[in-house]
Structure 1
Amino acid sequence: MMKMHLVLSLLGLLSLSCAHTDFYTSIGHMTDLLNTERDLVTSLKDYIKAEELKLAEIKKWAEKLDHLTVTATKDPEGFLGHPVNAFKLMKRLNKEWVQLENLVLKDISDGFISNLTIQRQYFPNDEDQTGAAKALIRLQDTYRLETDTISKGNLPGVKHKSSLTAEDCFDLGKTAYTDADYYHTEPWMEQALRQLDEGEESSVDKVTVLDYLSYAVYQQGDLDKALMLTNRLLELDPEHQRGNGNLRYFKYIMSKESNKSSSSLSEGEEVRTRKGRPKDHLPERQKYEMLCRGEGVKMTPRRQKRLFCRYHDGNRNPSFILSPTKQEDEWDKPRIVRYHDIISDEEISKVKALAKPRLRRATISNPITGVLETAHYRISKSAWLSAYEDPVVARLNNRIQGLTGLDVSTAEELQVANYGVGGQYEPHFDFGRKDEPDAFKELGTGNRVATWLFYMSDVEAGGATVFPEVGAAVYPKKGTAVFWYNLFENGEGDYSTRHAACPVLVGNKWVSNKWIHERGQEFRRPCNLSELD
């Protein structure tokens, strides 16, 4: 049985790359880890069962020998006067106790340990744990979630509610602390402390939490609170070396500041103020996060009147005349349209099955060199599918061409993407701007004239596609697709198409993109004679 589970586990690992695969960036790949853990649990249960059988056999030995020795020691000479008893004593001490010794020393954990050792090399590493922790912190910021809400698992649309322990909260705070992100260290250490104060048993203690928390608070400029927390730490552990050192330092700083008025600060000395959210919280990011929360969407009554639903035949394309598609206007400028029931569940399953074994950390095109590279602001995995690989891919390409009227022979291959924990793609342009002349030079097909985006899953919460420049938000809906032009008819880039994929709060987001290029569109979408149009 142990060998069977070892083989099953090894077969499951064949789907994983020998190199580390950034598990946290794809929910799809993380499901492989659940299967691996399931096999390990089965192997562990087999080991426990074998140990229990071994222990039961030892107990039988003990019970038999206990009964025998109690009887024998009451009348040793009379007992050994029986020649059979004398013979059996010699035999027991010569052979049977050796057999018992071998039974006790028998190691039946080899199968489980071998299984665990083999699979450990494919386990997530520190980078994955850190990435998942940062994803939770990113979700906390984007959706303005309280640490208590996350810790108790009270998220919208959850199917499998789960909570964080005090140790989990401490680890999240420590992740932020390691990055000198004291803004996020504080609330997570406070959450850990709150759960400990409520009586939760944990491997982490209050002294350790207070040590990190007091320093994080001090780094943000709140000396009074830092002093209060340090005093509480020393009440629990009066001999704490760092706590005593911090206490003396905080008192020294406070006494020094009390002797100075705010008007007499020496040159270059900073006024002690509470620091806010750290790095890169720019106006665009604020707009982006507001749209992700469903705030700031500029859907005015006047705009709403210009948006319609219709049956679309792809400009009398023969494939859609008898069976037109349902088209809905999502936005006017830039014009974003959604096609409903445009990809079937069977097609989605096939595309995912083709893509999953090849999912790799998603890349972006370096605007200077044009070379593909990974980026921290795109948390997902992707794979590229060619039309020749399967009839389903070819059929989807033909469908896009028929509905848009654009030539897809020069388009990029179908890119399938699966988002990970808190998966997102921060604001970006799909087209290459004037200061990025080599963005798509290697392809030789010109700029990206348009974007087609299939939604291949529903998302319980989060995961919207938002356009910060115009205040638009488009929500994932399985089986639909959205389409927009990135370039005006004169070939200039439409900067209002700057968009982002919001972090997935709850759920598993699968999409596939088709980026259509300029070459081949000369007669399908001719360039306008006016530079201003």
Structure 2
Amino acid sequence: MRIHTYLLPTCVMCTFLVVQFKSVSAEMFSALADMESLVSTEFELVKQLDNYIQEEETRLKRLRGFLEEYESLYHEASADVSKYLANPVNAYLLVKRLTSDWKKVEKVVTQNAGSDFVKNITHHQSLVRFPSDEDLKGAAVALIRLQDTYKLDTHALADGKLLGTKYSRQLTAGDCWELGRQSYNNGDHYHTVLWMGEALNKFEEETNKTVSREEILEYLAFSTYVQGNVKEALQLTNELLKTIPFHQRALGNKKHYEELLREQGIIPPSGEATDVSMEMREPFDTANLKLTKPKGTHGLPIDEWNNYEKLCRGEKLMDPKIEGQLHCRYVTNNVPFFFIQPVKMEEAYLKPLIVIYHDVITDEEIETVKQLAKPRFKRTTVRNSVTGKVETVKYRISKAAFLKDSEHDYVLKISRRIGLITGLDMATAEDLQVCNYGIGGHYEPHFDYARKQETIGFNKDTGWRNRIATWLFYMSNVEAGGATVFPTLNVALWPQKGSAAFWYNLHLNGEGNVNTRHAACPVLTGSKWVSNKWIHELNQEFRRPCGLQFDAEM
């Protein structure tokens, strides 16, 4: 048995200038609010780079002046050297030009405006923030997540189109290559093939090349092979060898691919003629390949995961009979103020009861809450049910901050309002969590309550017991994507600024309701802001009495 190992080299990219910056305290891609500062960073770079170029152009203009003067005098002297030097003034000036005058030229040549450029940027470090390699990786993974969830065509996405609407400029071959490289580094050869294939076709169309053809072919050939397309991998490798005949890795791969194809009977033994073309097709078309998507690590039953993605795409899955039983109405909950201004309630599902309350938070309150939260944003975490440690995870991409009722009158009023509408005691509710989602920000299907098999529950030290209910404010509209979905119920709630969703996580007898597993769909376009209150069991005994049946509902 032969084991062949062929690895691609680490890509090294060189630029004319390397600037070191202090690393930021946390990654930026996980919240669009944090990424807004990158626009200021780009503006500062543009300004400083423009100043640098102007200085360099001035310096080059002076050097060109020196050159023209030296050329003129050289041509005059070289016409008749003896006659020229016979004039003592000319002889003196020649010596002067090659001593003191040349030192002036040397000074201009060695003048380094780049160091001043670096100093200026360093001076502005308090104003500018730079994303890290981790941000690049996270942004690439997020874009691919959106591609899969919303079934976005690779070519359309590369042309800046989302769901048929053009949102951005086209990606270059280099942009597509970077997405392919990030996929390769994550062990995702499926998306490597898609994006490297797109990079190859864009390369052929580009006048000013943004990446080399050889770099594309090397990644594309190997990932095509890993996906099980050996013949096409050999064709791509042969194409690479046309340009770089002595590429050692490609030569080794070519030999390996030929052996596999001979074993499969696709090509005859060495030395015999073959009718199978080993030339690459133009243009390269991934539709001709057998590609297998990675299964992912979501850990959900496949039907539930498929429902999750369908609901995110806006596909209607709810039984029309169930949908026909849902109503909208005004509610007062016997609160005097609500008799004057009733609350608008929309039923989203009946068992378990999931409702949406409309116009329950004002724009002014929203902006105040956002401004209070922004300076404290941290990457959202989950608590490991076994170790009890909080940790960042790939299945939850956002940033959040918690606000206490005592921090601002609006925060206190919001908490009281939730208590009046739900009828629950807010003394055992957690602080208001304010959350902003980043590029492709999402939270895969999860429960808000602690399950029995989890050894560490919520607020163990407080004795508040489990999370009985969830209140979720929508603090922004979202142009596309970003729905809250319940895959087992076929329910999708779409963000509407000023509204809030509410549901009970537990049955009346305190058992967790598995049908409340929900998810925040990836944000396709727009910025999604939400805030939520998790309300606990303690103090709710007389507000939501216990039931004796397991499946009893409110």
1:20-99 mapped onto 2 (5 Å cutoff): 20-55=25-60
Give the C-alpha shift of residue 224 in structure 1. Answer: 2.4
Match of 2:310 among 275, 286, 290: 290
SS of match in other structure, 1:383: strand
Matched to 2:436, the amino acid is N
Q: Is the 8 A contact 1:467 1:473 kept in 2?
A: yes
- CA distance in structure 1 between the aligned counterparts of 2:114 and 2:296, rounded to whole angstroms: 51
- Unpaired runs of 5+ residues, structure 2, are 1-20, 267-288
Give the AA of the match of 2:201. Answer: R
Q: Provide the C-alpha distance between the structure 2 equivalents of 1:363 and 1:87, rounded to a whole number of angstroms.
A: 78
- Structure 1: gaps of 5 or more residues: 1-12, 260-272
Question: Aligned in 2, Cα 1:95/1:277: closer, same or farther, shift over 3 Å?
Answer: closer
- State the partner residue of 1:218: 225
Aligned to 2:292: 276
Asked whether 1:386 is paired with 2:404, we answer yes
Q: CA RMSD in A?
A: 3.3
The separation in 1 between residues aligned to 2:70 and 2:405, in whole angstroms, is 75
SS in 1 for 2:527: coil
Q: Distance in 2 between matches of 1:209 and 1:27?
A: 31
Q: What's 2:499 paired with?
A: 480
Measured at CA, do residues 277 and 56 of structure 1 come closer, stay the same or move farther in structure 2, by a change above 3 Å? closer
The answer for the alignment partner of 2:13 in structure 1 is none
Please tell me the residue identity of whatever aligns with 1:164. Answer: L
Give, as a single letter, the amino acid of the residue that structure 2 aligns with 1:110. S
The alpha-carbon deviation at position 89 of structure 1 amounts to: 10
CA gap 1:280/1:61 in 2 versus in 1, 3 angstroms: closer
- The answer on whether the counterparts of 1:360 and 1:382 sit within 8 Å (CA) in structure 2 is yes
Cα distance in 2, alignment partners of residues 224 and 108 from structure 1: 53
CA distance in 2, matches of 1:312, 1:524: 17
TM-score normalized by the length of structure 2? 0.81
Q: Deviation of residue 280 (structure 1)?
A: 2.9
Q: Which moved more, 1:181-190 or 1:216-225?
A: 216-225
Whole-angstrom CA distance in 1 between matches of 2:484 and 2:532:
13
Matches within 5 A, 1:317-396: 317-396=335-414
Q: Which moved more, 1:72-81 or 1:187-196?
A: 72-81
Q: Select between 88-97 and 364-373 the one with higher mean Cα deviation.
A: 88-97
With over 3 angstroms needed to count, the CA separation of the structure-2 counterparts of 1:158 and 1:355, relative to structure 1, is farther
Q: Aligned-pair distance for 1:481?
A: 0.9
Deviates more, 1:59-68 or 1:165-174: 59-68
- Residue range with higher mean Cα deviation, 340-349 or 54-63: 54-63
3-state SS in 2 of match to 1:412? coil
Q: Structure 1 residues 62, 455: closer, same or farther in 2, change over 3 A?
A: same
Counterpart of 1:42, as a letter, is K
2:264 partner SS: helix
Q: Does 1:252 align with 2:270?
A: no
Partner of 2:477: 458
1:351 Cα offset (Å): 1.0
Alpha-carbon distance between aligned partners in 2 of 1:98 and 1:217, rounded to the nearest angstrom: 58
Which residue number corresponds to residue 286 of structure 2?
Answer: none
8 Å CA contact 2:196–2:220 kept in 1: the answer is: yes
The answer as to whether partners of 2:331 and 2:344 remain within 8 angstroms in 1 is: yes
Q: Given that residues 366 and 439 in structure 1 are in contact (C-alpha distance below 8 angstroms), is that contact kept between their aligned partners in structure 2?
A: no
Q: 1:96 to 1:22 in 2, by over 3 A?
A: same
Which is further off, 518-527 or 250-259? 250-259
Deviation at 1:40, TM superposition (A): 1.9
- Superposition deviation, residue 236 in structure 1: 3.8
**Is 1:502 matched with 2:518?**
no
TM-aligned CA deviation for residue 402 of structure 1: 1.2
What residue number does 1:151 align with?
A: 158
Q: Does the residue aligned with 2:530 lie in a helix, a strand or coil?
A: strand
- Counterparts of residues 391-470 of structure 1 (less than 5 Å): 391-440=409-458, 441-470=460-489
Range with greater deviation from structure 2 (464-473 or 242-251): 242-251
Contact 2:173–2:202 (CA<8 Å) still a contact in 1?
A: yes
* Cα deviation, residue 86, structure 1: 12
* Contact map agreement 2:404 2:411 (CA 8 A) in 1: yes
What is the alpha-carbon distance in structure 2 between the residues aligned to residue 100 and residue 218 of structure 1? Answer: 57
Q: Is the 8 A contact 1:166 1:200 kept in 2?
A: no
Question: 2:136 is aligned with what amino acid?
Answer: Q
Question: How far apart in 2 are the matches of 1:369 and 1:65?
Answer: 76
Residue of structure 1 equivalent to 2:198: 191
* CA drift at 1:157: 8.7
How far 1:123 moved relative to its partner?
Answer: 2.1
Instruction: Indicate if the aligned counterparts of 1:336 and 1:482 stay in contact, CA closer than 8 A.
Output: yes
Q: Is it true that 1:493 corresponds to 2:516 in the alignment? A: no
Q: Deviations over 1:195-217 (max 9, x none)?
A: 12334542422233222222212
Contact 1:465–1:474, Cα closer than 8 Å, also in 2: yes
Contact 1:451 1:486 in 2 (8 A): yes
Q: What percentage of aligned pairs have identical amino acids?
A: 47
1:174 maps onto 2:190 in alignment: no
Aligned length: 501
Cα pair 1:297 1:473 within 8 Å, conserved: no
